[in-house]
DNA sequence: ACTCGAAGCATGTATATACACCTAATTCGC
DNA sequence: GCGAATTAGGTGTATATACATGCTTCGAGT
């Protein structure tokens, strides 16, 4: 494994495409995001927005920090992503008892939009599952879960 | 599967966290990107930049469109990502015989930076592989490959 | 050689992501 | 209670990503 770093032979180079977890996860994320975005388009939601709305519906009201942990997103990223949803009237962000905190909740409108988007999400999901098969899908999701744990554990 | 879209019960909601390929791939991509970025920091390269440089080294000179296909990236995204590498002097983008095309090649400096970054990438990669084990890593990568194919095939 | 559709790219705009740094509110040690 | 450390969050800046649109160049057909 510990070869001379001065030698950058093609065997070494090919690793990026064949074995790099980051590169391949990013490629897969781009590919699936485009697919889901495409299916979700009639709803006006992007993939990220759909999942954020769904988490808000399931776990809300919830603080920014909790939401960031759940979604493995930087708090500051979340702030900006949620601002977009708030401007659309799909969520509200209110101060909690602890006045440092911000509680995120889905609105009536947000719920309506979300409900309308569910069948679109199901279609995208079905497209993927039919291509992979349920078993491989499950083991893939399990692998993703493990790699998230491992990446966050430092 | 085809339940009433008006009913957004919690069973349905939980699907996003448990089964959504897009959501979980994006979460995993964020997690691993942070890990690799962290390891790569001394090199001055981000994960995306590292992989782009490596592909340029392996496949270059190559046109934007080809590079976009290989990396499953929008051509227009690639244009901006490569501009950053070009400004750093790590690659050059030159017109080809066909003057519509742009050929991307790694520079001497780019190669030096890349070579310096390889051990850092190896450390990040090792961290992940040690956590998962080689077998699970392989099956995960295989799954990613399949999901990319399925996502792009529409 | 001329035209026209196709191929290859760039730009405008919007969203997504993260780090460094900053402010405000809370909690803890005394 | 008071001050320091901690916690929750926002802003500035940079990168990453994609769609709609428009421009240039090429090749095929006449």
Of B79, B88, B83, which is closest to residue B109 (Cα–Cα)?
B88
Which residues in chain A have their CB less than 8 angstroms from residue B15's CB? 125
On the question of pLDDT at A131 being above 90, the answer is no
**For residue B15, pLDDT beyond 80:** no
Domains and CATH numbers, chain A: 47-152 (1.10.10.10)
Give tens-digit pLDDT for A8-49.
666 566 677 779 999 999 999 999 999 999 999 999 999 999
Predicted local distance difference test score (pLDDT) of residue B21: 96
Residue B132 binned pLDDT confidence (cut-offs 50, 70, 90) = confident
Residues of A with Cβ-Cβ distance to B14 under 8 angstroms: 58
- pLDDT surpassing 70 at residue B7: no
Q: Mind listing the pLDDT tens digit for each residue in B41-59?
A: 999 999 999 999 999 999 8
pLDDT for position B60? 77
pLDDT tens per residue across span B71-105: 999 999 999 999 999 999 999 999 988 999 999 99
The verdict on a CB contact (< 8 Å) between B13 and A57 is yes
What's the pLDDT score for residue B13? 62
> How large is the average pLDDT for residues B109-123?
95
What pLDDT is attached to residue A60?
79
> How confident is the model over A96-123, as a mean pLDDT?
95
Residue among A16, A47, A150 minimizing CB distance to B54: A16
């Amino acid at each position: 494994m510990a070869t001379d770093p001065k030698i950058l032979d093609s065997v070494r180079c090919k690793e990026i495409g064949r074995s790099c977890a980051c590169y391949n996860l990013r490629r897969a994320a781009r590919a699936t995001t485009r697919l889901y975005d495409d299916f979700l388009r009639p709803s006006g939601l992007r993939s990220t927005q759909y999942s954020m709305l769904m988490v808000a519906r399931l776990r809300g009201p919830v603080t920014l920090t909790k939401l960031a942990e759940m979604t493995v997103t930087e708090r500051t990223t979340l702030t900006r992503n949620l601002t977009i949803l708030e401007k659309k009237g799909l969520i509200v962000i209110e101060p909690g008892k602890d006045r440092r905190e911000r509680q995120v909740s889905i609105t009536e409108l947000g719920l309506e939009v979300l409900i309308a988007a569910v069948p679109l999400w199901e279609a995208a999901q079905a497209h993927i599952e039919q291509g992979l098969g349920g078993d491989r899908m499950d083991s893939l999701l399990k692998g993703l879960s493990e790699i998230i744990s491992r990446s966050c554990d430092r």
